[in-house]
Amino acid sequence: MMKLQGKRIYLGTLEREHCIKLWDELEYDFMNETKPLNIGRSIEKASEWFEQIKKEQGIAHIWLGIFLKDGTIIGDIALQNIDAKNRSCSLALKISKLENRNKGYGQEADKLIMDYGFNNYGLERISASTLGTNIPAQKSLENLGFKLEGIERKSYYFAGKKHDKYLYGILVEEYREKFNK
């Protein structure tokens, strides 16, 4: 079982029951719309998600759970779309419950998985994207050393309107310089 230890959280292997819990507890933030609301999630869909993670783990992605020190799962994080030839991937993160967001857990999880990706997996570039409306995610990425590389204007449609998507990236040398690694 994989475990990456942080100060307040750790990243660990996702099991089926974790996926079901995350799927069941996912809360939508109507005050800070960041992605479409996924109505009608089912336990079967959570199990399908787990099977997909299991099938592609270590090949197309590294997908882990975000756990509080007491073992409570609060979210998931992934290095996804891994391109082994070009040593690059994209970063994705989700914290399920509103009460656990904006507390620094996501940024700590991002740092842990970035460290693993750059220092253990041999990655040389990690990208991330977020909607223009997701200011907390933008600030978090910038605090981690990501650089805004572009904006896909009006490229994402939901809630009756088009949204900009912000594209970020960080190179291994930028990461090492920022965190003295």
Stronger pLDDT, 29 or 104, i.e. the higher one: 104
Q: What is the mean pLDDT of residues 20-32?
A: 80
Q: What pLDDT score does 44 carry?
A: 85
pLDDT digits (tens, 9 = 90+) for 104-154: 999 999 999 999 999 999 999 999 999 888 888 899 999 999 999 999 999
Structural contact between residues 32 and 98, judged by C-beta atoms closer than 8 angstroms: no
Rounded Cα gap, residues 102 and 150, in angstroms? 25
Q: What pLDDT score does 33 carry?
A: 62
Domain boundaries, the chain: 3-179
Contacts of 17 (CB under 8 A, 6+ apart): none
3-179 fold: Aminopeptidase (3.40.630)
Strands 3-5 and 9-13, by their bridges, are antiparallel
Q: Which residue stretches of the chain are H helix?
A: 16-25, 43-56, 105-119, 135-143, 172-179
pLDDT digits (tens, 9 = 90+) for 47-97: 888 999 999 998 999 999 999 999 999 999 999 999 999 999 999 999 999
Q: What pLDDT score does 34 carry?
A: 63
pLDDT digits (tens, 9 = 90+) for 147-173: 999 999 999 887 788 989 999 999 999
Structural contact between residues 65 and 75, judged by C-beta atoms closer than 8 angstroms: yes
